[in-house]
Amino acid sequence: MLTPSKPRSFPMLEQDPTSNLWLDQPADQWVFPDPLDLTFEGFAPEAFALLDRLREHPHIEQYRKEKQGIRRSITEPFKRFRDDLVVNWVLPNRLDFETEKNVFSRLLKNDFGAGGCHHHLWMSFYRPSRRRLTDFQLSHSITPNGFTTGLFVGDYAKALLQQAKDRIAAEPGRFLDLINPLLQIKIGIYHSPRGQKTRTFYEAPLDALPPELSKATDFFIRCYLCREEAVTVEGGLVRWALERLRHLWPLYEFILH
């Protein structure tokens, strides 16, 4: 077992970059180490308190004031969480994801020098032919309110967003068969109709496709742990995320095929 202070390095997978055959591996056939090989020790309460302060004061000055605590309580543990997903999920199942280069978002905003700061941090592996923002994301996020694992596609990936809409419209029954079991375990779908700032949230099983879907500017499904639960599970957050990824994978396959 590697100590948490030492970053892991991962072997390159020998995959055909033009092939999506690895998508055909059903999630119920995934293999995991037994026991899981874990270095992530969990997020402490201070991680969420820091994000609370950034939400209250979303400026670079607050970020600079909190920088050492952010590194210690948020970014370094999140990197170990990422490493554990690679070692226990990506590598054993030969999934062709980029797992190191630009997989994390940034807290500081790219706002042309205005000095704004986000109060959440997220990461997503992505297919090597794409970028994190332009792929259909299997994402993980820490916010002041808790931790999420889910699927997302939005405006930065317009072609994939349209592909998702077309795929769903072509096989609505199949989509409903995949989405309704997820809704029953408290996973929600959000749509952002263009020109509106509010999002529509669904948590009850659907009888038909939501009419908002065809006009949505983003589409995401999130499994959620409140901050108290995320702290309590400690390193078990990795296992929780792996279980949610197993539930989400059939829908991920459906959209991309």
The answer to whether position 17 is within a domain reads no
Q: What is the pLDDT of residue 250?
A: 94
Task: Give strand pairing partners of 139.
Answer: 124, 150
Q: Is 119 within a domain?
A: yes
Residue at 101 is within a domain: yes
What pLDDT is stored for residue 246 in this prediction?
94
- Looking up residue 249, the CATH number of its domain turns out to be 3.30.930.20
Q: Is residue 122 part of a domain?
A: yes
CA-CA distance, 76 to 33, in Å (whole number)? 23
Amino acid at 85: L
Q: How many domains does the chain have?
A: 1
Q: Using alpha carbons only, what angle is made at residue 227 by residues 222 and 233, rounded to the nearest 5 degrees?
A: 90
In a domain, 28, yes or no: no
Q: Is residue 26 part of a domain?
A: no
Residue 5 pLDDT = 40
Contact 141, 121 (CB under 8 A): yes
Rg, Å, the chain Cα set: 18
Per-residue confidence (pLDDT) for residue 186, from 0 to 100: 63
Question: Is 172 inside any structural domain?
Answer: yes
pLDDT-flagged residues of the chain (< 50)? 1-7, 10-19, 21
pLDDT for residue 135: 95
Domain residue limits at 187: 40-256
Q: What angle do CA 57, 231, 226 make, to 5 degrees?
A: 70
Q: What is the pTM of this model?
A: 0.88
Q: What is the pLDDT of residue 121?
A: 97
77 assigned to some structural domain: yes
